Amino acid sequence: MNPKESTGQGKVAVVTGAGSGIGRAVAVELLRTGWSVGLAGRRAETLEATAALVPGAAGLAVRTDVSDPADVAALFAAVRERFGRLDLLFNNAGTFGPGGVPFEDLPYDAWRHVVDTNLNGAFLCAQAAFRQMKEQEPRGGRIINNGSISAHSPRPLSAPYTATKHALTGLTKSLSLDGRAYGIAVGQIDIGNAATEMTARMETGALQANGEITPEPVMDVTDVARTVRHMAELPLGANVQFATVLATAMPYVGRG
């Protein structure tokens, strides 16, 4: 680690969905700049692999299903026991759900899985973080929810994902108000086409609103990670309420 980059020294974060993609990139960015990080995800081996990318850093891998209240409680208890406090929750765990399924054919179980992961999981983690940040000394902290540009402009055949991301925006706004009295800052980052395993199909072709299949530009996921770290390291008297980071040339502005 470059000593000049030890900007998070003494700070503690929880990153959900830390085993891959955006969650892994953000966890690595925080770890390499001095943060202690609780790494949460469904697969212990991928969490351990994330921690191993920054040898010697303070990463704690905790296998967690964010839709399970008991798992979420155990995650935050483990982080509190290991590190003593919590300064940041990056509420990132999520799933697109089944792709290419017409809305009228969408199985209820598929809808429920997306809602349980993207929305209920975010609620459970935010609630656990909120409680700890309110009770700890010094009080306060920051929650950053991973939204999506689908919270503003949906893709075709994306009802479960888009609905949960709209709901997450409502959760962000509500918690931003509720956290004021306790020094808890809450914001949201809306991301478009970061290059991860989940978005690999964008480069080969994605369904557009006009029915065409068109390749889309992507951006380096480390650019997202640096944006999250910037939001995280602001003093609690300042907050990025909403940030949008996207591949410059992707078909978002004017989509449809």
Rounded Cα gap, residues 133 and 139, in angstroms: 6
Query: Average pLDDT for residues 201-216, to the nearest whole number?
Result: 72
3-state SS class at 190: strand
pTM: 0.92
- Specify the length of the chain in residues: 256
pLDDT recorded at residue 173 = 98
Asked if 64 and 75 count as a contact pair (C-beta separation under 8 A), the reply is: yes
- Given 108, 161, 182, 252, the catalytic residue: 161
Asked if 161 and 116 count as a contact pair (C-beta separation under 8 A), the reply is: no
For residue 207, pLDDT over 90 is answered with no
pLDDT in tens, 121-165: 999 999 999 999 999 999 999 999 999 988 888 887 889 999 999
- Per the annotation, the verdict on 252 as an active-site residue is no
pLDDT recorded at residue 1 = 45
For residue 200, pLDDT over 70 is answered with no
- pLDDT: which is higher, 192 or 173: 173
pLDDT in tens, 42-63: 999 999 999 999 999 999 999 9
Q: pLDDT tier at 199 (50, 70, 90 boundaries)?
A: low
Q: Which two tokens stand for residue 192?
A: 């478009």
Query: Average pLDDT for residues 230-246, to the nearest whole number?
Result: 97
Q: What are the helix (H) ranges across the chain? A: 21-32, 44-52, 69-83, 108-114, 121-135, 159-178, 200-204, 221-232
Query: Average pLDDT for residues 179-203, to the nearest whole number?
Result: 85
CATH superfamily of 3-246: NAD(P)-binding Rossmann-like Domain (3.40.50.720)
Q: How many CA atoms lie within 13 A of 216 on its CB side?
A: 24
Rounded Cα gap, residues 96 and 114, in angstroms: 7
The secondary structure element, H or E, covering residue 48 is helix 44-52
Domain positions in the chain: 3-246
pLDDT recorded at residue 251 = 81
Name the average pLDDT for the chain.
Answer: 92
Asked if 217 and 166 count as a contact pair (C-beta separation under 8 A), the reply is: no
Rounded Cα gap, residues 25 and 50, in angstroms: 9
Looking up tokens 């990139």 gives 25
Phi, psi at residue 24, to the nearest 5°?
-65, -45
